[in-house]
Amino acid sequence: MEGPRRLLAHELPALGKLVDNVFMNGTDGAMNRAFSTLFNAANTDNLIVFSDDGRIVSHVGRTERWVSLGGCTVRVGCVGAVATDDAYRGQGLASKLLFQACAEGMAAGVDLFMISGGRGLYRRAGATEVGLDYRATVELAAARDLVLASVAIRPFEDGDLPIWMAAYQQKLAHYVRPSEDWECAVQTRICQTFDADFLTITNAGVPCGYVVCRVSEEDWLCHIMEYAGDARLVAAALAQVAERHDAHALRLVIPGTDPILFAYLERAGIALEPVHSSGTLLIVNFQQLIDRLRPWFATRAGLDAAERLDVQRDGDRFVFICGDASVELENLAAATEFLFGHHERNRPSGVFAKMFPAPTLRYGLSFI
């Protein structure tokens, strides 16, 4: 057995065989097609594996991207395609690979991992659900009440990409996507492993935003997987999106960082169900993350509070301190929930309620 170690470029086909068997019922090349930003020669340093006699038997993969959280630049590792061959399970291989990935990520300046899953492997390391998002199910009749005569949708066209990029970058929390990520998305038309419909929103004929969606054969709902643009125009486009796919309703998640669209849908009488943000979060460098988020804390609670905020660690416990105020959390998961928000647990008060929660991300086209 060899590992944990980084994958070698010539081993990509062997890794593809492992992940295709685990996630895609052995469909050759399916994972590479769905996650070409992950499985490519330029990213092999971020693919950590165990091998045995030339076979790749366990894998933890990630991509590393800059993100903007409330105007603060943070380094995120997106972790996914975590797989172990059936014959090698129960040996702790994935746990060792995740530990190695955390160590390498921290050395490379990563602040936190977004993990596309919530199994025990991740929770034992301290990962947890966070975020104050809401899921809306919008019946077609309700969507029609939001229509504006000037708003229309059409399929993505060559030349639309700068509009999409500009609209996405206006989100309070967003990935700083390199051009390769955008180009890959519009070429494959895949989002979160699904074939997706890429639609441009226009207002009086002028492109101004977009919707990426799919129709589920399980519930025949039109699922909005990513959207961007002026909230009123996005809301006005929903009915046409549903009608295009003969769907009786749409389902979308409104991030806690999008209170305007939330307000439009709430005012329209649409039920909004509390949900958390994408996947689970695992903070790998807590102090560095706090320092990078200080501009956000200043916008919420003032410069003095942002500068005085300190987080101390004592074994498993974390203590948040700001002047005379302090809160002790029992472990990394609880501290992460306190920082990024959780619908049920560890709700801050006092000065901490002004600073927290920090903005959270949704995967959308950046899903790994």
pLDDT in tens, the chain (368 residues): 999 999 999 999 999 999 999 999 999 999 999 999 999 999 999 999 999 999 999 999 999 999 999 999 999 999 999 999 999 999 999 999 999 999 999 999 999 999 999 999 999 999 999 999 999 999 999 999 999 999 999 999 999 999 999 999 999 999 999 999 999 999 999 999 999 999 999 999 999 999 999 998 778 899 999 999 999 999 999 999 999 999 999 999 999 999 999 999 999 999 999 999 999 999 999 999 999 999 999 999 999 999 999 999 999 999 999 999 999 999 999 999 999 999 999 899 999 999 999 999 999 999 99
Element (H or E) spanning 102, and its range?
helix 93-107
Dihedral over alpha carbons 274, 277, 279, 284 (to 10 degrees): -130
Q: Which pLDDT does position 91 carry in this prediction?
A: 97
The pair phi, psi for residue 4, each rounded to 5°, is -65, 140
Domains of the chain (ranges, CATH numbers): 2-110 (3.40.630.30), 133-275 (3.40.630.30), 285-355 (no CATH)
Q: How far is CA 111 from CA 15, 65, 105, 204, 314, in A?
A: 27, 11, 8, 42, 20
Dihedral over alpha carbons 15, 17, 19, 20 (to 10 degrees): 150
**Overall pTM surpassing 0.85 (yes/no):** yes
Q: Which pLDDT does position 365 carry in this prediction?
A: 97
Are the beta carbons of 31 and 21 closer than 8 angstroms?
no
**Residue 19: closest CA among 30, 9, 8:** 30
Are the beta carbons of 153 and 211 closer than 8 angstroms?
yes
Q: Which pLDDT does position 52 carry in this prediction?
A: 97
Q: Which pLDDT does position 362 carry in this prediction?
A: 96
Please state, in angstroms and rounded to a whole number, the distance separating the CA atoms of residues 247 and 221: 6
Residue type, 161: L
Q: Which pLDDT does position 216 carry in this prediction?
A: 83
Q: Which pLDDT does position 291 carry in this prediction?
A: 98
Structure tokens, 352: 């901490």
Provide the greatest CA pair distance for the chain.
Answer: 64
What is the DSSP-derived secondary structure letter of residue 172?
S
Half-sphere exposure of 36 (CA within 13 A, CB side): 14
**Residue 78: closest CA among 28, 50, 112:** 112
